[in-house]
Amino acid sequence: MKGFGSSWVLGGLLVGTVLLAGSVAAAPAAPVSKQAAALAAFDTIQTVLQHPRCQNCHIPGDAPLQFDAGLVHNQNVQRGSNGLGAPGFPCSTCHGTKNLPASYGAHMPPGAPGWRLPAVNQKMVFIGLSKADLCATIKDPAHNGNRDLAKLLEHVSHDKLVLWGWSPGVGRAPVSVPHEQFVAAFKAWMAGGAPCP
């Protein structure tokens, strides 16, 4: 029992030291409570980035994925070096700048301006990454199209391929988190210093 008691004291000291060290290190960026809120907000960001509507294009391979199950795209579609498709078989053969009218029904090629995969030399992979790796990847200018946090926020707020995730066309579920909530989570994450778990 004695040993039990003293390990609690020791534990308390350790926790105290870690908390103190944490708040000192974080002082210039954000208070600890904001950081905790920011880490919680990153959970929401992860849910969106790894939703099928987003991660089907954010892939390590060279063929886009389809459906909630993330199956390899039909018709042997390929990324091509610039992401626009193989030479002679671009995404725009089938994908327009907007979805086809709902009256066409399900299984129509979805559309948005600039429909493509990221270029082969910077694939911007989201699928299959741990929380920590996903966070590090989207913050790294060498992996995110040379964007700082302000530019990332701009992208997730207004980019047409991103917004498509909330109106993906007949037969596809939109991203499960509302867009405003996603943007709010992004702002909360930034306000807490954009920490990675």
Instruction: Enumerate binding residues for ligand HEC (CB under 6 A).
Output: 48-49, 52-54, 56-58, 64, 66-67, 73, 75, 77, 79, 83, 85, 89, 91, 93-95, 107, 109-110, 115-118, 124, 138, 144-145, 152, 155-156, 161-162, 164-165, 171-172, 175
Write down how long the chain is.
197
Report in angstroms how near the CB of residue 58 gets to ligand HEC at its nearest.
Answer: 6
Q: Are 45 and 186 in contact (CB under 8 A)?
A: yes
Report how far apart, in Å, the C-alpha atoms of 64 and of each of 56, 59, 196 are: 6, 7, 28
Report in angstroms how near the CB of residue 160 gets to ligand HEC at its nearest.
Answer: 10
Residue among 30 and 54 whose Cβ is closer to ligand HEC: 54
Long-range contacts: 57-64, Cβ < 8 Å, 24+? 57/117, 57/118, 57/161, 58/118, 58/123, 58/124, 58/125, 58/126, 58/127, 59/117, 59/123, 59/125, 59/127, 60/123, 60/125, 60/127, 60/128, 62/120, 64/117
Report in angstroms how near the CB of residue 27 gets to ligand HEC at its nearest.
Answer: 28
Residue among 30 and 112 whose Cβ is closer to ligand HEC: 112
Residue among 83 and 195 whose Cβ is closer to ligand HEC: 83
Residue among 107 and 158 whose Cβ is closer to ligand HEC: 107
**Per-residue tokens: 161:** 């391929």
Report in angstroms how near the CB of residue 96 gets to ligand HEC at its nearest.
Answer: 11
Within 10 Å of residue 142's Cβ, how many Cβ atoms?
8
Residue among 73 and 131 whose Cβ is closer to ligand HEC: 73
Report in angstroms how near the CB of residue 38 gets to ligand HEC at its nearest.
Answer: 17
